[in-house]
């Protein structure tokens, strides 16, 4: 393989667009009704003086990165803006020509330390580089006219943990071979999120439901999209969760192929969750639901998740870390405690997903039954740059299903100008559809077609020219 291309970071710009949810999204103790989506543009410069512009986008979901109840939603948004501007200052001040991976690795620890000094936890501090790294890779791939899948398999980003001080357990792992063997999927199942405020049947749909022609209940969503994969949020209230799981089980019986449960940090200890899970397994009406349940995501609070041994509980059901996967070494710390799964989530950085996938491959080589796994999870990804880049990542990683909820809680690209909607529909006519007065993610038979993502860039294909930048507000 040729030496990965090196470059400098010339300029990074941020813009925002407000997104109003059509349905309230309740997870854990939080309920989200609106939030900004941030867009990033990054210009990189090569040794010959040429430049390339790449972009990325991500929702700024409140009460996920930092669940401190003393902070308002606006406080949470500002934390993420601070993380973005801090990462920009570091990347742009560095005049060294580096590979894409080296730009990430060189600033990784310093940005975590700077974030900690400013009161940002690692999840929030990592939001900045996560977005910048995607825009930077997009710019590099556009320069080389390569797709995300081809570029990652050829390691155009130059991923190499040796000498980086990161993921040291992988220093003898054949990363180049691992990357080259990935086979991107042509389609992927959408794992539908059942939020805590969601109606289960049409009979209990909300009185003030939106009249937009889109489903508001689990029952209606299954009918419209053909879902067979589901993610069910837990509240931590045993009585309420048991009743809700029973109602959901009745709707999903004979329909569900895969179910995952999300604790969203609602349990103070492994014992507390074990008590709840014992009640679940003792209820005959929940047997069909349990038969399809693949794993439980982040049941314990993040301040306890990596401080308690969950091995006994993990013998009953595989456990996955999500919010506790805040640093690049978190999964390695979680493994000896009994966790076998970790989430791929674009807001945590695509390099982290790649490193964790490599860990799973390495650990499974010496583990009977290959228990270690990566799961695709969502941060209410929106149609456009965000969902395209996340789908490109999980497709290349070979995942069979990915949580998708942005299309359910938000009315597609309704917030974007008509020109932008039509540009994206023309560029991705199998990924999107026009229905109910807006362009939106197309899900048929529970599946999302991914063929259009085989395009130059990080699933963008010069998307910078498709986005209505002048219709957003900039922040510096």
Which pLDDT belongs to residue 464?
A: 64
Residue spans of beta strands (DSSP E) within 340-435? 341-344, 373-376, 401-404, 432-435
Which pLDDT belongs to residue 209?
A: 85
SS3 content of the chain, % helix, strand, coil (to 5): 40, 20, 35
Residues with Cβ within 8 Å of 441's Cβ and at least 6 positions away in sequence, in order, are 383, 387, 404, 406, 407, 412, 431, 432, 433, 448
**Cα separation, 213 vs 433, whole angstroms:** 14
What DSSP designation does 3 have? P
Quote the tokens at residue 314. 């993990």
Which pLDDT belongs to residue 391?
A: 98
> Kind of pairing, strands 319-321 and 341-344?
parallel
Q: Is the pLDDT of residue 463 over 70?
A: no
For the chain, state the CA radius of gyration: 21
Which pLDDT belongs to residue 1?
A: 52
**8 Å CB contact between 443 and 229:** no
Write the pLDDT tens digit of every residue in 169-224.
999 999 999 999 999 999 999 999 999 999 999 998 777 789 999 999 999 999 99
Q: What are phi and psi of 58, to 5 degrees?
A: -160, 140
Which pLDDT belongs to residue 435?
A: 97
Q: Is the pLDDT of residue 462 over 90?
A: no
Prediction pTM value: 0.97
Residues with Cβ within 8 Å of 210's Cβ and at least 6 positions away in sequence, in order, are 22, 23, 216, 411
Domain 8-168: assigned CATH number = 3.30.390.10
Q: Is the pLDDT of residue 2 over 80?
A: no
Residues with Cβ within 8 Å of 137's Cβ and at least 6 positions away in sequence, in order, are 54, 100, 148, 151, 157, 350, 458
Q: Distance between terminal CA atoms of the chain?
A: 39
State the span(s) of the chain assigned CATH 3.20.20.120. 187-468
The helix (H) or strand (E) run that includes residue 132 is helix 122-144
Q: Is the pLDDT of residue 229 over 90?
A: yes
Mean pLDDT of the chain: 96
Among residues 278, 336, 340, the alpha carbon closest in space to that of 307 is found at: 336
Cα 108 to chain centroid, rounded: 19
Q: Tell me how crowded residue 213 is: count the other CB atoms within 10 A of its CB.
A: 10
Domain 187-468: assigned CATH number = 3.20.20.120
Q: Is the pLDDT of residue 124 over 60?
A: yes
State the span(s) of the chain assigned CATH 3.30.390.10. 8-168
The helix (H) or strand (E) run that includes residue 100 is helix 100-117
Q: Give me the mean pLDDT over the 446-468 stretch.
A: 90
Write the pLDDT tens digit of every residue in 20-66.
999 999 998 889 999 999 999 999 999 999 999 999 999 999 999 99
Write the pLDDT tens digit of every residue in 126-176.
999 999 999 999 999 999 999 999 999 999 999 999 989 999 999 999 999
């Amino acid at each position: 393989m040729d030496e990965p291309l090196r470059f400098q970071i010339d300029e990074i710009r941020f813009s925002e667009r407000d997104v109003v949810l059509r349905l309230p999204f309740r997870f854990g103790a939080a309920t989200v009704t609106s939030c900004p989506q941030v867009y990033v543009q990054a210009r990189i410069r090569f040794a010959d003086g040429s430049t390339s512009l790449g972009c990325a986008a991500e929702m700024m979901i409140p009460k996920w990165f930092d669940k401190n109840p003393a902070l308002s939603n606006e406080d949470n948004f500002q934390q993420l803006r601070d993380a973005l501007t801090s990462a920009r200052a570091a990347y742009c001040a560095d005049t060294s020509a580096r590979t894409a991976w080296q730009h990430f690795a060189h600033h990784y620890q310093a940005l975590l330390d700077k974030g900690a000094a400013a009161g940002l936890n690692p999840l929030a501090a990592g939001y900045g580089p996560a977005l910048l790294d995607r825009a930077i890779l997009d710019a590099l791939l556009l320069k080389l006219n390569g797709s995300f899948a081809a570029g990652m398999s050829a390691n155009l980003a130059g991923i190499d943990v040796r000498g980086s001080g990161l993921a040291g357990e992988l220093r003898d792992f054949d990363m180049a071979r691992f990357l080259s063997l990935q086979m991107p999927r042509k389609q992927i199942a959408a794992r539908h999120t059942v939020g805590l405020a969601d109606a289960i049947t049409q009979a209990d749909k909300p009185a003030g439901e939106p009249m937009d022609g889109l489903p508001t209940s689990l029952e209606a969503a299954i009918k419209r999209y053909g879902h067979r994969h589901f993610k069910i949020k837990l509240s931590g209230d045993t009585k309420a969760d048991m009743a809700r799981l029973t109602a959901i089980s009745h709707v999903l019986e004979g329909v569900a192929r895969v179910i995952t449960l999300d604790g969203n940090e609602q349990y103070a200890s492994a014992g507390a969750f074990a008590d709840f899970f014992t009640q679940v397994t003792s209820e005959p009406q929940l047997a069909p639901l349990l038969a399809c349940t693949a794993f439980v995501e982040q049941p314990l609070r993040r301040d306890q998740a990596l401080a308690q041994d969950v091995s006994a509980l993990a013998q009953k059901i595989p456990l996955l870390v999500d919010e506790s996967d805040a640093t690049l070494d978190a999964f390695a710390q979680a493994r000896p405690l009994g966790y076998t799964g970790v989430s791929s989530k674009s807001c945590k950085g695509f390099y982290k997903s790649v490193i964790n996938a490599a860990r799973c491959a390495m650990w499974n080589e010496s583990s009977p039954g290959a228990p270690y796994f990566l799961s695709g999870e969502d941060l209410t990804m929106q149609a456009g740059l965000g969902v395209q880049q996340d789908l490109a990542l999980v497709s290349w990683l070979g995942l069979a299903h990915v949580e998708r909820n942005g299309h359910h809680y938000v009315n597609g690209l309704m917030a974007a100008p008509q020109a932008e909607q039509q540009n994206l529909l023309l560029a991705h006519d199998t990924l999107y559809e026009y229905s109910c007065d807006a362009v939106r993610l197309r899900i048929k038979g529970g599946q999302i077609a991914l063929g259009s993502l085989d395009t130059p860039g990080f699933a963008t294909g010069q998307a910078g020219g498709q986005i209505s930048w002048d219709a957003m507000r900039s922040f510096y």
